[in-house]
Amino acid sequence: MGYLLRALRLVGIVVWVGGLIFFAFVEAPTAFHAMGTTRQFALLIGASIAGINRFGEVAGCVFVLASLLLWKHSLPITRKLLGVELLLVILMLAATLYVQRHIVPAMERDRAAVGGDIASVPAENPTRMHFNALHATSERVEGTGLFLGLGVVLLMAGEDTHREATAIR
């Protein structure tokens, strides 16, 4: 049972962090290069981030549930590590939910207010300025989620270090 729970945690965090990395470093730059800041670009990016965030919500919940089940049967030293990992994943979930439930809808309202294409209005337009500020915030929050996730991966990489060091002696 422990193996299955550890595997679920690992798959969950890898899928989530991998999706964030793919989006930030492959999909968004490629789409921008191919499409520019067109309405189609916005639709693609919006749908992609919504999908990644849904995956993240599911993966985060699986991670939390599996971690809590592992917690019950863990040694005190392992519980400390699990606790830190849980905290980081809960912060990731909070960031994901904040972006998806608050920032994205506000950006969509701004987009609708200018007729659907935010790039069609001057940069000095108050609605566009608000949209741009929201976009910058969403990038920072999603980036924070990515770094938290990388932290979880690094912590997970060290989980068995104590056991291995003891076994080697």
pTM above 0.85, yes or no: yes
Residue 135 has which token pair?
């976009």
State mean pLDDT over 134-161.
Answer: 93
Query: Residue 136: its pLDDT value, please?
Result: 96
**Do the Cβ atoms of 55 and 15 come closer than 8 Å?**
yes
> Burial level of 12, CB count in 10 A (0-12/13-18/19+)?
buried
Question: Could you tell me which residues come within 8 angstroms of residue 8 by beta carbon, excluding any fewer than 6 positions away?
Answer: 62, 63, 66
User: d(Cα 74, Cα 61) in Å, to the nearest integer?
Assistant: 20
Amino acid, single-letter form, for residue 150: L
pLDDT confidence tier of residue 164, bands split at 50, 70 and 90:
very low
